[in-house]
Amino acid sequence: MSDARPALTTLSEDESSFREAIRDFAEGEIKPLVNTMEEKAQIDPQLIKKLFEMGLMGIESPEQYGGANSNFFMACLAVEEIGRIDASVSVMVDVQNTLVTNAFLRWANQGQKEKYLPRLATDTVGAYALSESSSGSDAFALKLRAEEKSDKYILNGHKLWITSAGEAGVFLVFANLNPDKGYKGITGFIVERDFQGFNVGKKEHKLGIRASSTCEITFENCEVPKENIIGELGKGYKIAIETLNEGRIGIGAQMLGIAQGAYEATLAYTQNREQFGKAIAENQGVQFQLSEMRTALEASRLMVYNAARLKDAGLNFVKEAAMAKLYASRTAEKICSMSVDLFGGNGFTNEYPVEKFYRDAKIGQIYEGTSNMQLQTIAKMELS
């Protein structure tokens, strides 16, 4: 059988070297901690420090802010390679780069960039706070309210399912400043963890990505300085939409990594597991399943890479991002399910990695836009 590693023919020399460096880091620093982090449902704090030291939390940030001064495609490569080992660490890197840092780079004023980008690149985890109990797919039905009061804004309400909230020091929060205007009243705010009236609540116990903290956050007369508005008043909806369009490519990359990890584990297992006197990989039925897995994996990779390349080129990528997330998330679940099947009874135990890949894959069809929302986006753009 051929090598399970993906072909690198579409990558430049720098991109290939970057991928190899991230793969070595993931194998050497993340993999030994995966089981412990899964059991504790927490990403190792020392590992988070190493993510910053490796420059993985500020991939697109300019060097003047302590970042790596790279591009979106490189961020997706990092998310993919880390996802191949652990989806929880992968989504932390993903949110930090494709959502939080990306939003600061595009929408923050110069003062905000100088204050926050160095922190986000070197030592502070960021979180993106949009979802609420009443506003999941209907993102603009949010009820978090902001009220102007002298030199500050007062926020009241709560958010749910906020990724990395347990570790984050800076939150990009969306609240409605003028409900009478509907979604045109939504405004973005930069909220620091120690702001008065802000609190990180309970952590969700989840099916997958268990080490990733997913928490409720509450605002009880939370005081936010006026200079912490990001973008224009009433234009938060624009920031939210456009940032999520980019973030969906990152989730596609995460799903790609999960699928790759499951496939590699399965390929090795089928070559070593013997039944009826021969490796099960020698059975044509198993070979066909492996071929189906590899083909879907490569199709997903092309879609994710294409969307990321379009984004970096400044071309319209919204439909391609939706397609990439839709297809890659479905592929990850399919490949991981087939992996469990091919592992047999062993695949149903946590002594082997595929049951975790299977659990981790499901979230890809839910967060940063459900599969139905991706279908709606694709159809809308096709029919416009």
Residue 292's domain is classified under what CATH number? Answer: 1.20.140.10
Range 78-97 average pLDDT: 98
- Summarize pLDDT for 197-239 with one digit per residue, the tens: 999 999 999 999 999 999 999 999 999 999 999 999 999 999 9
Let me know: does 164 contact 127? Beta carbons within 8 Å. yes
- Domains in the chain, number: 3
Kindly list the distances between the CA atom of residue 118 and the CA atoms of 11, 44, 321, in Å, as whole numbers in the listed order: 29, 22, 28
Which pTM does this prediction carry? 0.95
Residue type for 161, please?
A: W
Residue 7: its pLDDT value, please? 44
Of 132, 121, 116, the closest CA to residue 192 belongs to: 116
Over the stretch 305-332, which tens digit does the pLDDT of each residue have?
999 999 999 999 999 999 999 999 999 9
| Residue positions annotated with a catalytic role | 368
pLDDT at position 149 over 80 = yes
- 138: containing domain: 127-234
In this structure, the answer to whether residues 196 and 282 fall within a common structural domain is no
Per-residue pLDDT at 134: 80
Domain presence at residue 59: yes
- Yes or no: say if 250 and 94 are a contact pair by the CB < 8 Å rule: yes
Angle between helix axes 284-312 and 236-272 (nearest 10 degrees) is 150
259/229 same-domain check: no
**147 shares its domain with 78:** no
Which of 234, 250, 266 finishes a domain? 234
Beta-carbon contacts of 194 under 8 Å, excluding residues fewer than 6 positions away, are none
Q: What is the pLDDT of residues 65-87, one digit of tens each?
A: 999 999 999 999 999 999 999 99
